[in-house]
Amino acid sequence: MMNDTLPLRYRKIQDVIERSCTQSGRLPDSVKMVAVSKGQPLEAVQHARALGIRCFGENRVQEARSKFAVLRDEMPDLELHLIGPLQTNKARAAVEFFDVIETLDRPDLARALAKAIAATARRPRLLVQVNIGEEPQKSGVAPEQLSDLLATGSELGLSIEGLMCIPPVGQDPVPHFAKLAGLARAHGLCELSMGMSGDYAQAIAAGATYIRVGSALFGDRA
Ligand SMILES: *Cc1c(COP(=O)(O)O)cnc(C)c1O
Protein backbone atom coordinates (compact mmCIF):
# COMPACT_ATOMS: atom_id res chain seq x y z
CA MET A 1 0.00 0.00 0.00
CA MET A 2 1.02 3.59 -0.41
CA ASN A 3 2.36 4.95 2.85
CA ASP A 4 1.04 8.44 2.42
CA THR A 5 -2.58 7.38 2.11
CA LEU A 6 -2.75 5.85 5.58
CA PRO A 7 -2.48 9.18 7.45
CA LEU A 8 -5.17 10.67 5.21
CA ARG A 9 -7.51 7.75 5.71
CA TYR A 10 -6.93 7.81 9.43
CA ARG A 11 -7.63 11.51 9.60
CA LYS A 12 -10.85 11.00 7.67
CA ILE A 13 -11.99 8.22 10.02
CA GLN A 14 -11.18 10.38 13.04
CA ASP A 15 -13.27 13.19 11.54
CA VAL A 16 -16.22 10.86 10.99
CA ILE A 17 -15.93 9.51 14.55
CA GLU A 18 -15.87 13.03 15.93
CA ARG A 19 -18.81 14.17 13.84
CA SER A 20 -20.90 11.08 14.63
CA CYS A 21 -20.23 11.53 18.33
CA THR A 22 -21.16 15.20 18.26
CA GLN A 23 -24.36 14.46 16.37
CA SER A 24 -25.42 11.85 18.89
CA GLY A 25 -24.34 13.81 21.94
CA ARG A 26 -21.44 11.54 22.82
CA LEU A 27 -17.86 12.33 23.77
CA PRO A 28 -15.40 11.43 20.99
CA ASP A 29 -13.28 9.40 23.38
CA SER A 30 -16.24 7.18 24.22
CA VAL A 31 -15.57 5.37 20.92
CA LYS A 32 -12.39 3.44 20.27
CA MET A 33 -11.25 2.36 16.82
CA VAL A 34 -9.92 -1.18 16.53
CA ALA A 35 -7.62 -1.13 13.47
CA VAL A 36 -8.34 -4.44 11.76
CA SER A 37 -4.98 -5.57 10.40
CA LYS A 38 -5.94 -9.08 9.26
CA GLY A 39 -4.58 -9.74 5.79
CA GLN A 40 -2.24 -6.74 6.06
CA PRO A 41 1.53 -7.00 6.22
CA LEU A 42 3.56 -6.09 9.28
CA GLU A 43 4.66 -2.97 7.43
CA ALA A 44 1.08 -1.65 7.44
CA VAL A 45 0.88 -2.21 11.20
CA GLN A 46 4.17 -0.33 11.63
CA HIS A 47 2.80 2.62 9.68
CA ALA A 48 -0.34 2.64 11.79
CA ARG A 49 1.75 2.48 14.91
CA ALA A 50 3.75 5.50 13.76
CA LEU A 51 0.45 7.41 13.59
CA GLY A 52 -0.26 6.59 17.21
CA ILE A 53 -2.66 3.70 16.66
CA ARG A 54 -2.35 1.22 19.51
CA CYS A 55 -5.47 -0.92 19.23
CA PHE A 56 -5.47 -3.66 16.58
CA GLY A 57 -7.82 -6.49 15.62
CA GLU A 58 -6.92 -9.84 14.10
CA ASN A 59 -9.22 -12.74 13.27
CA ARG A 60 -6.74 -15.59 13.61
CA VAL A 61 -4.53 -16.48 16.54
CA GLN A 62 -1.69 -17.67 14.33
CA GLU A 63 -1.62 -14.64 12.08
CA ALA A 64 -1.73 -12.33 15.09
CA ARG A 65 1.20 -14.08 16.69
CA SER A 66 3.36 -13.99 13.62
CA LYS A 67 2.68 -10.28 13.13
CA PHE A 68 2.60 -9.01 16.70
CA ALA A 69 5.02 -11.24 18.61
CA VAL A 70 7.85 -8.71 18.39
CA LEU A 71 5.59 -5.66 18.66
CA ARG A 72 4.11 -6.95 21.91
CA ASP A 73 7.46 -6.37 23.59
CA GLU A 74 8.09 -3.03 21.92
CA MET A 75 4.61 -1.66 22.61
CA PRO A 76 3.58 -1.89 26.25
CA ASP A 77 0.36 -0.05 25.42
CA LEU A 78 -0.67 -2.37 22.57
CA GLU A 79 -4.29 -3.54 22.82
CA LEU A 80 -4.87 -6.59 20.67
CA HIS A 81 -8.40 -7.80 19.93
CA LEU A 82 -9.39 -11.24 18.66
CA ILE A 83 -12.36 -10.66 16.35
CA GLY A 84 -12.55 -14.03 14.54
CA PRO A 85 -14.07 -17.35 15.63
CA LEU A 86 -12.08 -19.20 18.27
CA GLN A 87 -11.69 -22.97 18.42
CA THR A 88 -11.74 -24.44 21.90
CA ASN A 89 -8.30 -25.98 21.46
CA LYS A 90 -6.85 -22.53 20.77
CA ALA A 91 -8.40 -20.88 23.83
CA ARG A 92 -5.19 -21.00 25.78
CA ALA A 93 -3.12 -19.48 22.99
CA ALA A 94 -5.72 -16.73 22.62
CA VAL A 95 -5.73 -15.99 26.36
CA GLU A 96 -1.95 -15.80 26.33
CA PHE A 97 -1.79 -13.40 23.41
CA PHE A 98 -4.88 -11.17 23.24
CA ASP A 99 -6.01 -8.33 25.48
CA VAL A 100 -9.63 -8.52 24.37
CA ILE A 101 -11.44 -11.60 23.02
CA GLU A 102 -14.60 -10.47 21.25
CA THR A 103 -15.87 -13.82 20.04
CA LEU A 104 -17.00 -15.83 23.04
CA ASP A 105 -20.14 -17.50 21.68
CA ARG A 106 -20.75 -20.86 23.36
CA PRO A 107 -20.57 -22.61 26.73
CA ASP A 108 -17.70 -24.98 25.85
CA LEU A 109 -15.58 -22.02 24.80
CA ALA A 110 -16.48 -20.22 28.05
CA ARG A 111 -15.23 -23.27 29.97
CA ALA A 112 -12.02 -23.46 27.92
CA LEU A 113 -11.36 -19.75 28.46
CA ALA A 114 -11.96 -20.03 32.21
CA LYS A 115 -9.50 -22.92 32.37
CA ALA A 116 -6.91 -21.03 30.33
CA ILE A 117 -7.31 -17.93 32.50
CA ALA A 118 -6.78 -19.98 35.64
CA ALA A 119 -3.71 -21.65 34.13
CA THR A 120 -2.02 -18.54 32.75
CA ALA A 121 -2.96 -15.79 35.21
CA ARG A 122 -3.78 -13.66 32.20
CA ARG A 123 -7.21 -12.09 32.11
CA PRO A 124 -8.21 -10.82 28.69
CA ARG A 125 -11.36 -8.73 28.59
CA LEU A 126 -14.26 -10.65 27.07
CA LEU A 127 -17.14 -9.79 24.77
CA VAL A 128 -19.86 -12.16 23.63
CA GLN A 129 -20.48 -12.36 19.90
CA VAL A 130 -24.20 -12.41 19.10
CA ASN A 131 -25.55 -13.84 15.84
CA ILE A 132 -27.72 -10.79 15.61
CA GLY A 133 -29.31 -11.61 12.24
CA GLU A 134 -29.93 -15.20 13.35
CA GLU A 135 -28.20 -16.49 10.24
CA PRO A 136 -27.58 -20.22 9.90
CA GLN A 137 -23.83 -20.98 9.62
CA LYS A 138 -22.83 -17.69 11.21
CA SER A 139 -20.87 -17.68 14.45
CA GLY A 140 -22.25 -15.97 17.51
CA VAL A 141 -24.73 -17.02 20.15
CA ALA A 142 -28.41 -16.86 19.18
CA PRO A 143 -30.05 -13.84 20.84
CA GLU A 144 -32.45 -16.08 22.79
CA GLN A 145 -29.51 -18.04 24.22
CA LEU A 146 -27.55 -15.00 25.34
CA SER A 147 -28.92 -14.99 28.90
CA ASP A 148 -27.91 -18.61 29.44
CA LEU A 149 -24.42 -18.03 28.08
CA LEU A 150 -23.92 -14.98 30.31
CA ALA A 151 -25.09 -17.03 33.30
CA THR A 152 -22.60 -19.78 32.44
CA GLY A 153 -19.86 -17.17 32.11
CA SER A 154 -20.61 -15.71 35.48
CA GLU A 155 -20.73 -19.15 37.15
CA LEU A 156 -17.26 -19.71 35.70
CA GLY A 157 -16.05 -16.40 37.12
CA LEU A 158 -15.60 -14.77 33.73
CA SER A 159 -16.13 -11.05 33.60
CA ILE A 160 -17.90 -10.34 30.36
CA GLU A 161 -17.93 -6.64 29.52
CA GLY A 162 -20.06 -6.39 26.42
CA LEU A 163 -21.40 -7.67 23.12
CA MET A 164 -20.14 -7.82 19.56
CA CYS A 165 -21.96 -8.43 16.28
CA ILE A 166 -21.54 -8.61 12.52
CA PRO A 167 -24.91 -7.79 10.89
CA PRO A 168 -26.02 -9.81 7.84
CA VAL A 169 -24.35 -8.73 4.61
CA GLY A 170 -26.65 -6.78 2.32
CA GLN A 171 -29.12 -5.71 5.01
CA ASP A 172 -29.58 -2.35 6.67
CA PRO A 173 -27.33 -2.71 9.74
CA VAL A 174 -29.16 -0.09 11.82
CA PRO A 175 -31.94 -2.32 13.24
CA HIS A 176 -29.29 -4.94 14.08
CA PHE A 177 -27.16 -2.36 15.89
CA ALA A 178 -30.22 -1.20 17.82
CA LYS A 179 -31.06 -4.76 18.77
CA LEU A 180 -27.52 -5.44 20.03
CA ALA A 181 -27.57 -2.20 22.03
CA GLY A 182 -30.90 -3.25 23.56
CA LEU A 183 -29.53 -6.66 24.54
CA ALA A 184 -26.47 -5.05 26.16
CA ARG A 185 -28.67 -2.64 28.08
CA ALA A 186 -30.98 -5.41 29.24
CA HIS A 187 -28.01 -7.31 30.65
CA GLY A 188 -26.18 -4.33 32.11
CA LEU A 189 -23.20 -4.65 29.76
CA CYS A 190 -21.37 -1.47 28.81
CA GLU A 191 -19.16 -2.35 25.82
CA LEU A 192 -20.59 -2.64 22.30
CA SER A 193 -18.34 -3.69 19.42
CA MET A 194 -20.19 -2.97 16.20
CA GLY A 195 -19.60 -1.13 12.95
CA MET A 196 -17.03 -1.83 10.25
CA SER A 197 -15.65 0.25 7.36
CA GLY A 198 -19.01 0.68 5.65
CA ASP A 199 -21.22 1.44 8.61
CA TYR A 200 -19.23 2.65 11.58
CA ALA A 201 -20.90 6.08 11.65
CA GLN A 202 -24.31 4.42 12.06
CA ALA A 203 -22.89 2.09 14.70
CA ILE A 204 -21.64 5.07 16.70
CA ALA A 205 -25.09 6.65 16.50
CA ALA A 206 -26.47 3.38 17.89
CA GLY A 207 -24.03 3.38 20.82
CA ALA A 208 -20.90 1.49 19.67
CA THR A 209 -17.95 1.77 22.05
CA TYR A 210 -15.64 -0.15 19.71
CA ILE A 211 -15.72 0.13 15.94
CA ARG A 212 -13.70 -2.37 13.91
CA VAL A 213 -12.22 -0.68 10.85
CA GLY A 214 -10.11 -2.54 8.29
CA SER A 215 -10.27 -1.55 4.65
CA ALA A 216 -11.27 2.09 5.23
CA LEU A 217 -7.98 2.48 7.10
CA PHE A 218 -5.54 0.11 5.41
CA GLY A 219 -7.10 -0.24 1.96
CA ASP A 220 -7.88 -3.59 0.36
CA ARG A 221 -6.63 -6.76 1.98
CA ALA A 222 -4.23 -9.11 0.18
C1 LIG B 1 -12.57 -8.08 8.66
C2 LIG B 1 -13.39 -7.70 9.81
C3 LIG B 1 -13.66 -6.35 10.09
C4 LIG B 1 -13.16 -5.20 9.25
O5 LIG B 1 -13.85 -5.16 8.04
P6 LIG B 1 -13.71 -3.88 7.06
O7 LIG B 1 -14.96 -3.92 6.27
O8 LIG B 1 -12.49 -4.12 6.26
O9 LIG B 1 -13.61 -2.68 7.91
C10 LIG B 1 -14.40 -6.08 11.23
N11 LIG B 1 -14.87 -7.05 12.03
C12 LIG B 1 -14.64 -8.35 11.78
C13 LIG B 1 -15.19 -9.38 12.71
C14 LIG B 1 -13.91 -8.72 10.66
O15 LIG B 1 -13.70 -10.02 10.42
Q: Convert the pLDDT of each residue in 159-218 to its tens digit.
A: 999 999 999 999 999 999 999 999 999 999 999 999 999 999 999 999 999 999 999 999
pTM above 0.95, yes or no: yes
pLDDT band at residue 3 under the 50/70/90 scheme: low
Ligand 1, pocket-test mutation among 212, 213, 221, most atoms within 8 A of CB: 212
Mean pLDDT, residues 67-90 taken together: 95
Q: Whose CA is nearest to atom 11 of ligand 1?
A: 212
Measure 212 CA to ligand 1 centroid, in angstroms: 6
Q: How far apart are CA 18 and CA 40, in angstroms?
A: 26
Q: Whose CA is nearest to atom 5 of ligand 1?
A: 214
Which tens digits make up the pLDDT trace of 19-45?
999 999 999 999 999 999 999 999 999
pLDDT at position 57: 98
pLDDT band at residue 2 under the 50/70/90 scheme: low
- Does ligand 1 come within 6 angstroms of the Cβ of 213? yes
Q: How far apart are CA 55 and CA 88, in angstroms?
A: 24
The CA-atom distances, in angstroms, between 127 and each of 96, 104, 141, 146, 181 are 16, 6, 11, 12, 13
pLDDT at position 60: 97
Ligand 1, pocket-test mutation among 59, 61, 82, 163, most atoms within 8 A of CB: 59
pLDDT at position 222: 74
- Does ligand 1 come within 6 angstroms of the Cβ of 45? no
DSSP per residue over 50-115, as a string? HTT--EEEES-HHHHHHHHHHHHHH-TT-EEEE-S---GGGHHHHHHH-SEEEEE-SHHHHHHHHH
Measure 216 CA to ligand 1 centroid, in angstroms: 10
Q: Whose CA is nearest to atom 4 of ligand 1?
A: 214
Q: Are 84 and 104 in contact (CB under 8 A)?
A: no
- Does ligand 1 come within 6 angstroms of the Cβ of 59? yes
Tell me the HSE value of 111 on the side-chain side, using a 13 A CA sphere.
4
Which tens digits make up the pLDDT trace of 109-163?
999 999 999 999 899 999 999 999 999 999 999 999 999 999 999 999 999 999 9
Residue 88 has pLDDT above 60, yes or no: yes
Q: How far apart are CA 21 and CA 122, in angstroms?
A: 33
The CA-atom distances, in angstroms, between 119 and each of 15, 97, 126, 137 are 43, 14, 17, 32
